[in-house]
Structures are given as structure tokens and as C-alpha cells.
Amino acid sequence: MDIVLEARGLTKRYGDFVAVNRLDLTIRRGEVFGLLGPNGAGKTTTILMLLGLTEPSAGSVQVLGLDPARSPLSVKARVGYLPDQVGFYDTLSARENLAYIARLNGYSRKEAGSRIEAALTRMGLEGVMDKAVSTFSRGMRQRLGLAEILMKHPELIIMDEPTLGLDPEAAREFLEIIRDLRSEGITIMLSSHLLHQVQAVCDRVGLFSKGNMVLEGPVDVLARQVLGGGYHITVEAEGDAGLEAALSRVEGVQRVQRAGPTRFVLEAIGDLRPAVARAVVEAGGQLFALASEAPNLEEIYARYFQKEATNARAA
Amino acid sequence: MLAQRSTSASGDAAAPRREGSPWTGLWAVVSKEMADYLSSTRMLILELITVLTAAGTVFTATAQLRETVGQDRFLFLRLFTTSQEPLPAFVGFLVFLVPIIAIALAFDAVNGEFNARTMSRLLAQPIYRDALLLGKFLASLFTLALVLTTIWLLIAGLGLLRLGVPPGGEETARLLWFLLLTVAYGGVWLALGILASILFRQPATAAMAALATWLFFTVFWGIIAGILAQILRPVRIGLPAELLAQAQLEQALSRLSPNVLYTEATVALLRPEVRSLSFVLPSQLQGAILGAPLPLGESIMLGWPHMVGLIAGTILLFALGYVLFQRQEIRA
Ligand SMILES: Nc1ncnc2c1ncn2[C@@H]1O[C@H](COP(=O)(O)OP(=O)(O)O)[C@@H](O)[C@H]1O
Ligand SMILES: [Mg+2]
């Protein structure tokens, strides 16, 4: 498979403090990878090293088959980077801001013009192209940042906390855009400390803690690893005393909790709604509602560290 | 000056042999920065100040010079050097006006990008930090040169109107050299301003630091040079040799100040009758006709070390800023 980004033993030390510790990471073409973890975990430091914007203390990086320290110009021409809290020249218009970046990328005036218009239109900013950026909302700035990246037709996009500071609606729109980009086959890496927002768009996530990537993989695999499942199935059903027992006998259900007179919450290894429905009917019950909730990253994260803490105490 | 590159701590400067030219994107930076300068209010204020001083000093100078029209070969040069109480001559104004203009142009060059959070976006483009820093410096230098040229033309125009005679060929040449010298003098302060903008994240702090340096050289360095000379070359018996040694050391020390270099070189260029910028011993005057003006070439040679000194200072300050900037974390 086509590898877009590869880090081996990537380490960053600030004095004695280890900000990123021996990170191994591989991202394949077309993937959306989420770098998740609390503030100060080392996400931004990792991204800066991947882009060659800060020098690793140890380890190696290959981006699009190139070493960003040796071929910074080629790497930067092909990778789009949206920094956290992206800023623009407030007195310049959206178009002028992008025009500067286009010149830095060496596009001809004509090419720049068409690329800029296309990118701004794509991000829904065509109406405000010639307005000063000082009038832009946080969400518009974020989209302008993405327009700048799209203008470069990048093969890889790296975004640092792209939804930070956006209101829920703007954040949702932004995640929608990320999904669109993914469907076009662009490889995306994004970082966030807002686990639930990101889990919806990522194929694979890496959970960061104190400079270490402690967990890595698709969300449902992690859920199975850490939670032993992690799906929550809510059942609204009426039936006799045997109903609860019948539910707990369903293959893959790990725990049944009674949440009300007619309400059960099941912990399961997957989305078992068909099997649960069958079990309710077979037990002679009446099914009113059935809902499944995918595993929650926050839960995975919390549970993982609980386990760690318990293990540490036991050891 | 660029040797630091390979040992620098920042990633985009780490490779022993870097891909492409370090100046990729330089002109994009220069043109953007110049456009910024020329459209800024800051620029308007600076222009206003300089135009006012130019007009003011030229008017007072011409009032005096009208009487000597026709007698003075270098009438036009006098426009720049004639003072009338309480106003100093225009060159006297320039000595402190140019540093202030330069610092005002440069004090937020680098930290401004950090504060606007545009730095990481810029450095994620296919350019090196070299191009960004040099581009900013060149843009400020060109802008300063533009301002100064405007003033020169303005003074020449005003002089023409008020005196009614055009400048001669040699005068024009001397004024052009003087313009170059003034730009070089501004270069030092631009480099200092940029260095301050790298050292301090707060533009106000950077401006204060640069202005403090300027104040130090304007007010205190002369005094310190005198004291140092007295300590290092004390006059014990009162021999002329002792006095001379002390005076020479004081002058050498004082020339560490760009203001002194600029003033002395200005004297060489604008006052052709000045034959030497150091202490002149009677023996050195043999064969020289006092009061006879030096030819242009010799006046230039007289101020040449000063000009080189100013350029060297600029390069030194810029190189220092360059090294620091290469090592700077780009995270805001
Ligand atoms: N220049 C620096 N000097 C010292 N420590 C730093 C520096 N930059 C970052 N750090 C530390 O490295 C850790 C990781 O920071 P960062 O990568 O920004 O985390 P995140 O992006 O996950 O919030 C933090 O604890 C931070 O304090
Ligand atoms: Mg961060």
C-alpha cells in the first residue's frame, strides 16, 4: 500500500523534558488519521516535526517519500498545513492573503488567480473574497485557512486542532468538509483534544499521552481492545421477568443494565441490534425502541488510563 | 554570514545541503512587505515628519544662502549643512531622524508575524527562513531609500525655487553619494530594529529596546568614549604625545557609534574643504592648501572607511538576527 507519511522513533526533547517519545507512525494514502490527546500531550510538536518546522531530537520522518529536513521545499509544496489558531493579515482581503501565499509557492499570476477563486468558492467564501479578513468570524478564518491549503492541491493535509474555538455548527460544517476531502482521496492528518468530534471523521486514531502514543488503530478495534466492546445498545421493551436474562444470553452482550421499568442498556462488542430484537421477540416481549451507540473515544481513553493506573498500583 | 545554517537548531535549516535556493520566494516577500509599508499609516506619519523638517531647514538655509548666491561653488550642498539657531542643519536632523524612521519601520518585522499567527503559515510554504528575513530587510531598506530619495528631490526642488540656480555636476554627485551614505546609515538601524523584533515578542518592547540603543549612541557613547580614553590613556605628565594618544583613542572608540561614522562621512562628502577626518598634525598639512576643496574622489575616499563600517555593522546585526531567527521555535 501507498505510504504517505512514516515516522520512526521520532523524539523531541526540550532540555530534560521529553515532549514526544519515540513515535512510530504510518499513514497510508487516502486515510484520515486523528492524533488525539489532551493539551500538552505533544500533538503540535509531532506535527511540527513531521513538517520539518522543528528539528527532531532523534528519529526519522518520511513525507511523500522525502525527508522534510533535506527536501523542505518539495515537501512544503505538496503538503498543506493548517496551524492551530491560524492567523491572517487582517488589513488584507481574503484574496490578497491567498495571493501572497500563491506567490510564495511560485504560481504564475494567472494560475494563482484561478486557483484562489476556485478554492475560495469551494469553501463558500466567494461572497467575501475582497473583504478584509478583519471582518471574518473564527469559522470563516478556519475555512480561509483550508482554502489556502486547497489552493495548493496538496497530497497530504495536516491540521492542528481544526475545530478548536468553533461553535458547534461551524465545527460540524468543518468536519463535513473533511469528510468531503476524504472522499476525494486526499490524505488527512488532524489533531484534536476533542475526542468525540474527531472520532466521527477518522479512519484511524492515535491516542497521545505525555509524549507517548499509547493506543493506535481504528476506533472500533481500540474499543474492543480496551473496553472489550464499547457499543451501548438501548432497548425499550416490555416483557416478563425472563426478558433481562434473555438479553444477557445474546451472543456478544457483555452486561445488561436496567435503566428503567422498560428500559435496558446493554454493553456489547458490536452493533447487535438484529440479534437483540430477535431475543426480545423470542422471549415473548414487545419491542418499542432499539438504539445503538458506537464506542466512545473518551470512554476508551478514560478506561485505558484507569487500567494503567490499576496496573501500576498492582505492580 | 550564512555559515550558521548547517549547525542551526531549527528543522528547516538542519540539512547539511539544502534543496533549492535559499532565496526562493525572496521577491514575493519583498513586494508584499513593500506594499504593506507604502500603504500603511505609519509611513504617512514618517513622510510627514521628514517633509516638515526638510522644508523647515531648507527655508531657513535658503534665507541665509541667498546672499552668497554666485560666490559659492557648493551652494547646493550648503542647503543640507547650513543651520540657523535654534534649528540644526538638515544633516543634523538626519542623524537622529533616520534611526527613528528605520526603527519605526522594522521593530515589528518578525514578532508581528508571530503575533498575527501568520508565521507558521508562511514557513509552511516552500521557502526558507533566509528568504523571509532578507526579504523583510530589503523591503524596509528599499522603503527607507524611497523616503530619503523623495526628500532629496524635495530639497533640491525647494532649493532650485528659492535660490534660482541648479546644482552643478559635482554637487549632484556628492548629494547622490550622501544619499547612499544615508541609506547605509539607515541600514544599521533597520538591522537593529529587525534584530529587536526577533529578540522580543512584544513589538512595544522591541521598539523600546531599539530606541534605547539609539539613545545610548546618541547621548551616552560620546561621554563613555571620553571616560574610557581617560582611563586607558591617562595624561600623566601632560606631554603632547599623551594628549594626542588619548584624543586618538577617544575618536577611535567614538567611531563605534554609527552616528559618529555617519556624521564624519557626511562632513567629508558635503564639505569639500575638509581634508581630513582625524586629528591633523601640522606635518601632515605640508603641501596642502588650506581651504582648497578636495576633488570628489578624494572626499569619497575620506568617508569610505566610514561607509564600509556602516555596511559591516549592518551585516553583523543582520547575521546575528539571522542566526537567532533560524533557531527560533515557530510555535506561537
Ligand atoms: N519550546 C518549548 N520548550 C519547552 N517545552 C515545550 C516547548 N514547546 C512545547 N513544549 C512542551 O511540550 C509539550 C507538548 O506540547 P504540544 O506539542 O504543544 O502539545 P499539544 O499540541 O498536544 O497540546 C508541552 O508540555 C509543552 O509545554
Ligand atoms: Mg497543540
By mean pLDDT, which of A184-198, A227-241, A281-295, B269-283 is the weakest? Answer: B269-283
User: Model confidence over A152-203: pLDDT tens digits?
Assistant: 999 999 999 998 888 888 889 889 999 999 999 999 999 998 887 787 899 9
**Could you give the C-alpha distances from B42 to A89, B37, B39, B105, in angstroms and in order?**
16, 8, 9, 8
User: Model confidence over A25-76: pLDDT tens digits?
Assistant: 999 999 999 999 888 999 999 999 999 999 999 999 999 999 999 999 999 9
Nearest to B113 by CA among A159, A86, A53: A86
Is the same domain home to A168 and A96?
Answer: yes
Is the same domain home to A81 and A190?
Answer: yes
pLDDT at residue number A3 = 94
pLDDT at residue number A159 = 96
Do the domain assignments include residue A283? yes
Do the domain assignments include residue A150? yes
pTM: 0.89
B33 touches B135 (CB < 8 A): yes
pLDDT at residue number B10 = 45
Residue that is last in its domain, among A191, A217, A243: A217
pLDDT at residue number B272 = 85
For residue B32, the chain A residue with the least C-alpha distance is A100
pLDDT at residue number B224 = 94
Above 70 in pLDDT, residue B295? yes
Ligand 1 centroid from CA A45, angstroms: 6
Helix (H, G, I), strand (E, B) or coil at A35: strand
Q: How confident is the model at residue B168 (pLDDT cuts 50, 70, 90)?
A: confident
pLDDT at residue number B47 = 85
Contact B19/A71, CB-based, under 8 Å?
yes
Q: What is the average pLDDT value for chain A, to the nearest integer?
A: 91
Above 80 in pLDDT, residue A119? yes
Is the same domain home to A244 and A173?
Answer: no
pLDDT at residue number B288 = 54
Is the same domain home to A254 and A193?
Answer: no
Above 50 in pLDDT, residue B188? yes
Judge if the beta carbon of residue A45 lies within 6 A of ligand 1: yes
pLDDT at residue number A219 = 82
Above 50 in pLDDT, residue B6? no
Is the same domain home to A172 and A39?
Answer: yes
Do the domain assignments include residue A127? yes
pLDDT at residue number A98 = 97
Rounded to an integer, the average pLDDT of B185-200 is: 97
Strand partners, A192: A36
Helix (H, G, I), strand (E, B) or coil at A212: strand
**Could you give the C-alpha distances from A135 to A128, A141, A167, B13, in angstroms and in order?**
9, 10, 17, 36
Q: How confident is the model at residue B159 (pLDDT cuts 50, 70, 90)?
A: confident
Do the domain assignments include residue A307? no
Task: Give domain limits for chain B.
Answer: 28-107+136-273+293-327
Ligand 1 centroid from CA B79, angstroms: 59
Ion ligand 2: residues, CB < 5 A: A 44
For residue A49, the chain B residue with the least C-alpha distance is B11
Do the domain assignments include residue A129? yes
A15 touches A31 (CB < 8 A): no
Helix (H, G, I), strand (E, B) or coil at B16: coil
Query: What distance in Å separates the CA atoms of residue A108 and residue A96, rounded to the nearest whole number?
Result: 15
**Burial of B293 from C-beta contacts in 10 A (0-12 / 13-18 / 19+):** middle
pLDDT at residue number B146 = 93
pLDDT at residue number A222 = 82
pLDDT at residue number B12 = 45
Judge if the beta carbon of residue A163 lies within 6 A of ligand 1: no
Residue carrying the nine cell digits 590613556: B233
Above 70 in pLDDT, residue A108? yes
User: What residues in A contact B36, CB-CB < 8 Å?
Assistant: 89
Is the same domain home to A204 and A277?
Answer: no
User: Model confidence over B77-107: pLDDT tens digits?
Assistant: 888 888 777 677 888 889 989 999 999 999 9
Atom of ligand 1 nearest to the CA of A39: 23
**Could you give the C-alpha distances from A42 to A14, A19, A145, A219, in angstroms and in order?**
12, 5, 22, 20
Query: What distance in Å separates the CA atoms of residue B261 and residue B269, rounded to the nearest whole number?
Result: 12
State the ipTM, two decimals: 0.87
Instruction: Name the percent of chain A lying above pLDDT 70.
Output: 99
Is the same domain home to A147 and A50?
Answer: yes
Above 80 in pLDDT, residue A293? yes
Is the same domain home to A49 and A124?
Answer: yes
Rounded to an integer, the average pLDDT of A93-102 is: 97
User: Model confidence over B57-70: pLDDT tens digits?
Assistant: 888 888 888 777 76
Per the structure, the complete domain to which residue A75 belongs is given by 3-217
Is the same domain home to A192 and A289?
Answer: no
DSSP structure string for B157-218: HHHHHHH--PPPHHHHHHHHHHHHHHHHHHHHHHHHHHHHHHH-SSHHHHHHHHHHHHHIII
Query: What distance in Å separates the CA atoms of residue B43 and residue B25, rounded to the nearest whole number?
Result: 25
3-state secondary structure A168-193: HHHHHHHHHHHHHHHHCCCEEEEEEC
Q: How confident is the model at residue A105 (pLDDT cuts 50, 70, 90)?
A: very high
Above 50 in pLDDT, residue B29? yes
By mean pLDDT, which of A215-219, A293-297, B4-8 is the weakest? Answer: B4-8
User: Who among A53, A104, A106 is closest to B120 (CB)?
Assistant: A53
Helix (H, G, I), strand (E, B) or coil at A241: coil
User: Model confidence over A252-275: pLDDT tens digits?
Assistant: 888 898 888 889 999 888 888 999
Residue type, B96: F
pLDDT at residue number B234 = 87
C-alpha cell at B133: 528575513
pLDDT at residue number B17 = 67
Rounded to an integer, the average pLDDT of A123-133 is: 95
Judge if the beta carbon of residue A42 lies within 6 A of ligand 1: yes
- CATH number of A268's domain: 3.30.70.100
pLDDT at residue number B283 = 53
Query: What distance in Å separates the CA atoms of residue B50 and residue A251, rounded to the nearest whole number?
Result: 86
Q: How confident is the model at residue A22 (pLDDT cuts 50, 70, 90)?
A: very high
Is the same domain home to A154 and A280?
Answer: no
Is the same domain home to A153 and A209?
Answer: yes
Judge if the beta carbon of residue A17 lies within 6 A of ligand 1: yes
Domain count, chain A: 2
Strand partners, A209: A212
Do the domain assignments include residue A14? yes
Do the domain assignments include residue A315? no
Judge if the beta carbon of residue A14 lies within 6 A of ligand 1: yes
Query: What distance in Å separates the CA atoms of residue B289 and residue B273, rounded to the nearest whole number?
Result: 10
> Which ligand is located closest to the Cα atom of residue A14?
1
